[in-house]
Amino acid sequence: MKHRFGSIVLDTAFRVLVPFTLLYGFYVLVHGEYSPGGGFQAGALLAAGVLIARLVQGEEAVYDLSGNKAVVLAGLGAGLYALIGFITMVFGGKFLEYGRLPLSVHDPAELHVYGILGIEIGVTIGVMATIIAIFDALTRGEDLYDD
């Protein structure tokens, strides 16, 4: 989005709404194992915060992630998910058998927590970047007709 879609009212609402949206997205990510939510919901919330910023502020958006960066980030999120799964297989377990992660922890239950958190982070990054990339693909046509 090159042009601002905002006004003083939208700018004020943006400054209040978006930080809480991003904070809530991180909260859903961190507490995704123990409460409703997780990687997909956190990614959708973070993408919504970034897209609201781009809609209201245009090219001056503070939270700007667009184009090829979003596609690369989506691939990195999927790669993190796969990497954790393959690490568990290399160390003698099944795909995503978190007890086989090569981390030095005192309690085996901690391995499960760290494994799930790593998976959730990968899913969050992948979903957030994919939603942003889809939005970019759908709005790219508007720049062709601007004079």
Amino acid at 75: G
**What is the rounded average pLDDT of the residues 27-50?**
86
pLDDT digits (tens, 9 = 90+) for 47-69: 999 888 888 877 777 767 777 88
The tokens describing 112, both together, are 């499960």
Tell me the pLDDT tens digit for each residue of 76-108: 999 999 999 899 889 888 888 888 888 888 787
pLDDT score recorded for residue 144: 44
Give residue-wise pLDDT tens across range 110-144.
888 888 888 999 999 999 999 999 988 888 755 54
pLDDT for 6 equals 61
The residue length of the chain stands at 147
pLDDT confidence tier of residue 45, bands split at 50, 70 and 90: very high
Q: How far apart are CA 78 and CA 27, in angstroms?
A: 21
Q: What is the mean pLDDT of residues 5-32?
A: 84
What per-residue confidence (pLDDT) applies to 2? Answer: 58
Domain map (residue ranges) of the chain: 8-144
